[in-house]
Structure 1
Amino acid sequence: MKFLIAGLGNIGPEYMLTRHNAGFMVVDRLAAQHGFSFSTNRLAYTAEWRHKGKIIHLIKPTTYMNLSGRAVSSYLKQFSIPTENLLVITDDKDLPFGKLRLKPKGSAGGHNGLRSIDEVLGTQEYARLRFGIGNDFSKGRQVDFVLGTFPPEELAELPDHLDRAGEAVLSFCTSGLQHTMNFFNQK
Structure 2
Amino acid sequence: MILVVGLGNPGNQYENTRHNVGFLTVDILAKKLNSSVKKLKFKSLYGETRLNTEKLILIKPQTFMNNSGESVREWVNFYKVPPENLIVIQDDIDIPFATLRLRQKGSAGTHNGMKSIIYQIQKDNFPRVKIGVGQKNGQMDLADFVLSGFVKEEQKAIEEAILLAADAVLDIVKNGIEHAMNRYNMRKKSSL
TM range (shorter): over 0.9
- Please, what is the CA RMSD of the aligned residues? 1.3
Q: Which residue of 1 aligns with 2:32?
A: 33
Between the aligned partners of 2:156 and 2:107, the Cα distance in structure 1 is: 31
Q: Which residue of 2 aligns with 1:74?
A: 74
Give unpaired runs (5+ residues) of structure 1: none
Between the aligned partners of 1:54 and 1:33, the Cα distance in structure 2 is: 15
- TM-score between both structures, scaled by the size of structure 1: 0.94
Q: Which residue of 1 aligns with 2:171?
A: 171
Question: Identity rate of aligned residues, in percent?
Answer: 39
Corresponding letter in the other structure for 1:79: Y
Q: How does 1:1-187 map to 2 (within 5 A)?
A: 2-42=1-41, 43-187=43-187
Q: Which residue of 1 aligns with 2:190?
A: none
Contact 2:83 2:123 in 1 (8 A): no
Between the aligned partners of 2:40 and 2:71, the Cα distance in structure 1 is: 10
Which is worse superposed, 12-21 or 102-111?
102-111
Which is worse superposed, 161-170 or 78-87?
78-87
Which is worse superposed, 167-176 or 23-32?
23-32
Q: Provide Cα deviations, 1:55-102, integer angstroms capped at 9, x if missing partner.
A: 111100001101111111111122232111111110000111211001
- TM-score between both structures, scaled by the size of structure 2: 0.92
Q: What secondary structure does 2:98 align onto?
A: coil
Greater than 3 Å deviation, 4+ residue runs: none
Corresponding letter in the other structure for 2:2: F
Between the aligned partners of 1:37 and 1:73, the Cα distance in structure 2 is: 22
Between the aligned partners of 1:95 and 1:27, the Cα distance in structure 2 is: 21
Contact 2:33 2:50 in 1 (8 A): no
Q: How many residues are aligned here?
A: 186
Which is worse superposed, 8-17 or 141-150?
141-150
Corresponding letter in the other structure for 2:142: Q
